[in-house]
Amino acid sequence: MSDTSTQPLSAIGGEFINPEREASFQSERLPEKFRHLRLLFLLSAFLNTLFLVSDWRFEGTSHFYIAVPARLVVIAIALGCYFATQRVAGFRYAERVMLTWEWINALAVGFLVSSHSDLALFVVIMLPSIYYLVVPTSFRWSVASGVGCSLIMLVGYMSPEDLRSNLIGLILAMVMLNVALILVVARSNRLRRLEWLALLAERRAKEQLAESRTMFETLFRTVPLPLVVVKVDGSIVNFNNAAVAFFGASREVLGIQSILEIYANPEDRDAYLEVLRREGRTSDFETTMRVADGSIRNVLLAGTRLELGGSSYIISALVDITERKAAEERVWRAASHDPLTDLPNRALFQSRFEQALAEAEHKGHAVSLLLIDLDDFKSINDALGHDAGDTFLQEMARRLRGLVRIGDTVARLGGDEFVVILESQTTHENTVSFVKQVIDELQRPFVYKGENISGRASIGIAIYPDHDTKPSDLLKDADLALYSAKAQGRNRAVVYAPEMRDRMERRDTLAREIQEAVAQNQIVPYYQPKVNLITGETIGFEALARWVHPTQGLMTPTLFATAFEDAELSILVGEHMIRRVAEDIRNWHAKGVACGRVAVNLSTAQFNWVGLAKRFLEIIRRAGVEPRHLEIEITETVFLGRSSLHVATVLQQFHDSGVRIALDDFGTGYASLIHLKQFPVDDIKIDQSFIKDVEHNTESAAIVNAVLDLGRSLEMEVIAEGVETEGQARFLRDRGCIYVQGNLYAHPMPASEVGAFLARDKRRIA
């Protein structure tokens, strides 16, 4: 029945089968045992001393001489063992002391009980019982000592008498006593050991519990992740070391009771609780928290709800994602913002614009889109350098940002193009007044290294939902309006109108046709002579563009003005004209035709290109024509527009090469006389509108007179153009005007007729 693996106790003695375990059981109880033994020894010494006195009643009998020495031995061995147990050594030692006492004591008492007194019988029964029950020897020795003691007692008690009739009874009684005591000892051994085992198990469990609690607490305290334990009401239960480091101070120093004081937005805490209530746990709740130095950190919370002892707790791990957020923000900014001005770039503008329109549709309000193009930017860049250009753009961006309200967007689309999404001003009137502010604000002079730069801007406006509803359509509308603003002379704002689309389409078609015409050589110069009024001689020609159209015949520039106004076309057509003129001059020279100086018109749009003079001169040089055979005609608008900053450079290059410079249409523009001094102008051409009524209109006559005087005093030659009648010619001659041009002398003619013209009219040039 018994199994040693589950039942480690011996079946008979109730002791541990494993000697080591038995030894450890015994040694653990040793100090207590020694205490009991010492008490036993003292008691034995004391009682026997008392009995020694009573032994005097045997004085005179033979037993007296047995009793007293035996009693003294009992007392002596008790005292000896008492002192021997003062020193606590191992169980074996203790057992040896006990056995010594037991056996010597038993022998001495054996003599004493031979007195056969009533007390003696009591002792015969009691002493083996004490050996079994009180003296803690091993089971073997308990049995040996118990049985031995019983025998000695029997022998002692019976010795003085002959065998008596009650001997058998006493022996039986002693056997019964021994058997009973052995059973009791075995049983108590077993019980005590089982109790000890249970105690050990309990102690181990307690130790393990304490150990795991210490481990958990150490872990909680030292884990490098900030952990916070709070109750549902927000009161803080525990912070770990990492949390103290994260918050910059302990809870006590921070002086906070509730976690609510840590949240930068306390309503986040409600949202967090809600997530935990719904899902029990979360690992990615983002919020912001305030730390000891007052700064706000971005935090990722991973939390769990715990039910412990009837209350709810929330344990949260905090991950500081401030740096990560900042890095994300930097990446996002780099991808969505223009590095120069820090304004949103085209990509961000597009998504904001879509958002704005979606919201406007939802709420039913208007959104205005302003496309802003800085008029002078290219020339600032060309004339003052890229640093100036950059600074200028930054300044314009700053000013625009200063004008808009929260909710509006200013973005840079690239180059000198900005855009404003106006969501805060929803009426037309507000938009108009805002646009006025923009124009005024940009125009405010900006000083860069002593240079006064003015930021004129052309603005195209499209309004949702009046003009269109789709972002791409609105952008196109604003672009058309911007084009129109530029065409109307720049530095103004134009609101989109549906006709602009048609006009734009027509213009696009025309532009394509013009390109085609250039490629097909359909655009050719016609030449109109410039004449000396006094001698009647032709001194040179003005080259005028004509489009020899396959179906519509000969077209004058009024029908294809775009060719000279558009930035790209004007370069293309301009180069084509110069090339053709240079070829014609070379051909005339080759044939011996002296054509004089030939003037070529340069439009203001062509001056956008800083390389204009170099290219022009290169073309004529390649054609083998010297610059002194050429003149350029420019109008006053070149001094005003966005190219004005590098106009001086280009004109100087022409002048230095020997090309003459004539100021065309003089009197119609806005140029001040300062321009005449500032720039290397050689000739002035009086506009034909003054010549037309010079005989009848005193104002025109006065202007013509003034210009003639001006020419004389500045030593410039003055040419009157559009002379159609003899009367006009006479008037001019009388006023001392020498050079004229007009239909009175000749209409513009193709190059092929120039030789014949010069020969026929004998107006040879000297």
- Which amino acid, one-letter code, is at 440? D
Cβ nearer to ligand C2E, comparing 513 with 565: 565
Compute how many residues bind ligand C2E; rule: CB under 6 A: 22
Q: Which alpha helices (DSSP H) does 456-498 contain, by range?
A: 471-487
Rounded Cα gap, residues 82 and 269, in angstroms? 74
| Helices and strands (H, E) in the chain, number of each type | 25, 22
Looking at 168-176, 266-274, 472-480, 595-603, which segment touches ligand C2E (CB under 6 A)?
Answer: 595-603
Minimal distance, residue 737 CB to ligand C2E, in Å: 15
Q: Torsions phi, psi of 422, nearest 5?
A: -100, 105
Q: Which of 743, 752, 756, 759 binds ligand C2E (CB under 6 A)?
A: 743
Minimal distance, residue 540 CB to Ca ion, in Å: 12
Minimal distance, residue 748 CB to ligand C2E, in Å: 5
Minimal distance, residue 594 CB to ligand C2E, in Å: 22
Closest CA to 647 of 615, 604, 616: 604
Minimal distance, residue 635 CB to ligand C2E, in Å: 7
For 74, residues 6+ apart whose C-beta sits below 8 A from its C-beta are 44, 48, 105, 108, 109, 112
Which residues in the 521-560 window bind ligand C2E by CB under 6 A? 528, 544-545, 556-558
Rounded Cα gap, residues 408 and 193, in angstroms? 88
Name the token pair of 338: 């223009």
Binding partner of 13, given ligand C2E, Ca ion, none, CB within 5-8 angstroms per partner class: none
Rounded Cα gap, residues 562 and 523, in angstroms? 14
Q: Which of 603, 608, 637, 700 binds ligand C2E (CB under 6 A)?
A: 603
DSSP code string of 332-357: HHHHHB-TTT--B-HHHHHHHHHHHH
Looking at 344-352, 479-487, 488-496, 722-730, which segment touches ligand C2E (CB under 6 A)?
Answer: 722-730
Name the token pair of 394: 């930054």
Binding partner of 724, given Ca ion, ligand C2E, none, CB within 5-8 angstroms per partner class: ligand C2E
Q: What's the chain's length in residues? A: 766
| Closest residue to Ca ion: CB criterion | 633
Looking at 2-10, 234-242, 596-604, 649-657, which segment touches ligand C2E (CB under 6 A)?
Answer: 596-604
Name the token pair of 219: 């872990």
CA quadruple 222, 223, 224, 230: dihedral sign: negative
Q: Does 728 bind ligand C2E (CB under 6 A)?
A: no
Q: Torsions phi, psi of 467, nearest 5?
A: -95, -40
For 378, residues 6+ apart whose C-beta sits below 8 A from its C-beta are 416, 608, 642, 643
At 533, is the secondary structure helix, strand, or coil?
A: coil
Q: Torsions phi, psi of 419, nearest 5?
A: -140, 145
Which residues in the 633-652 window bind ligand C2E by CB under 6 A? 633
Q: Which of 742, 751, 754, 758 binds ligand C2E (CB under 6 A)?
A: 742
Q: Which of 466, 724, 753, 761 binds ligand C2E (CB under 6 A)?
A: 724
- Residue showing tokens 């070379």: 586
Cβ nearer to Ca ion, comparing 636 with 664: 664
Q: Which of 316, 665, 739, 748 binds Ca ion (CB under 5 A)?
A: 665
Cβ nearer to ligand C2E, comparing 67 with 543: 543
Minimal distance, residue 742 CB to ligand C2E, in Å: 3
Cβ nearer to ligand C2E, comparing 479 with 721: 721
SS3 of the chain: helix, strand, coil, percent, to 5 = 55, 20, 25
Cβ nearer to ligand C2E, comparing 107 with 578: 578
Q: Are the beta carbons of 758 and 729 closer than 8 angstroms?
A: no
Rounded Cα gap, residues 729 and 735, in angstroms? 10
- Residue showing tokens 């009771």: 257
Which residues in the 555-594 window bind ligand C2E by CB under 6 A? 556-558, 564, 577
Cβ nearer to ligand C2E, comparing 257 with 743: 743
Which residues in the 61-80 window bind ligand C2E by CB under 6 A? none
Q: Which of 431, 739, 748, 754 binds ligand C2E (CB under 6 A)?
A: 748
Q: Are the beta carbons of 258 and 236 closer than 8 angstroms?
A: yes
Looking at 41-49, 106-114, 132-140, 717-725, which segment touches ligand C2E (CB under 6 A)?
Answer: 717-725
Q: Are the beta carbons of 564 and 603 closer than 8 angstroms?
A: yes
Cβ nearer to ligand C2E, comparing 226 with 748: 748
Minimal distance, residue 635 CB to Ca ion, in Å: 8
Other C-beta atoms within 10 Å of 611: how many?
A: 12
DSSP code string of 720-737: EE---SHHHHHHHHHTT-
Cβ nearer to ligand C2E, comparing 417 with 575: 575
Q: Are the beta carbons of 597 and 539 closer than 8 angstroms?
A: yes
Cβ nearer to ligand C2E, comparing 461 with 545: 545
At 509, is the secondary structure helix, strand, or coil?
A: helix
Q: Which of 367, 369, 514, 602 binds ligand C2E (CB under 6 A)?
A: 602
Binding partner of 564, given ligand C2E, Ca ion, none, CB within 5-8 angstroms per partner class: ligand C2E
Other C-beta atoms within 10 Å of 204: how many?
A: 10
Q: Are the beta carbons of 209 and 232 closer than 8 angstroms?
A: no
Cβ nearer to ligand C2E, comparing 404 with 545: 545
Q: Which of 105, 491, 601, 700 binds Ca ion (CB under 5 A)?
A: 601
Minimal distance, residue 559 CB to ligand C2E, in Å: 9
Minimal distance, residue 633 CB to Ca ion, in Å: 4
Q: Are the beta carbons of 471 and 359 closer than 8 angstroms?
A: no
Binding partner of 22, given Ca ion, ligand C2E, none, CB within 5-8 angstroms per partner class: none
Looking at 9-17, 204-212, 598-606, 708-716, which segment touches ligand C2E (CB under 6 A)?
Answer: 598-606
The pairing of beta strand 630-635 with beta strand 597-601: parallel
Cβ nearer to ligand C2E, comparing 236 with 571: 571
CA quadruple 204, 209, 210, 211: dihedral sign: positive
Binding partner of 711, given ligand C2E, Ca ion, none, CB within 5-8 angstroms per partner class: none
Identify the H or E element spanning 685: strand 683-686
Cβ nearer to ligand C2E, comparing 410 with 729: 729
Rounded Cα gap, residues 121 and 375, in angstroms? 138
Cβ nearer to Ca ion, comparing 408 with 542: 542
Which residues in the 628-647 window bind Ca ion by CB under 5 A? 633
Binding partner of 316, given Ca ion, ligand C2E, none, CB within 5-8 angstroms per partner class: none
Looking at 16-24, 195-203, 486-494, 658-666, which segment touches Ca ion (CB under 5 A)?
Answer: 658-666
Other C-beta atoms within 10 Å of 113: how many?
A: 26
Binding partner of 529, given ligand C2E, Ca ion, none, CB within 5-8 angstroms per partner class: none
Identify the H or E element spanning 452: strand 451-453
Give the binding site for ligand C2E (CB under 6 A).
Answer: 528, 544-545, 556-558, 564, 577, 601-603, 633, 664-665, 688, 721-724, 742-743, 748
Give the binding site for Ca ion (CB under 5 A).
Answer: 601, 633, 664-665
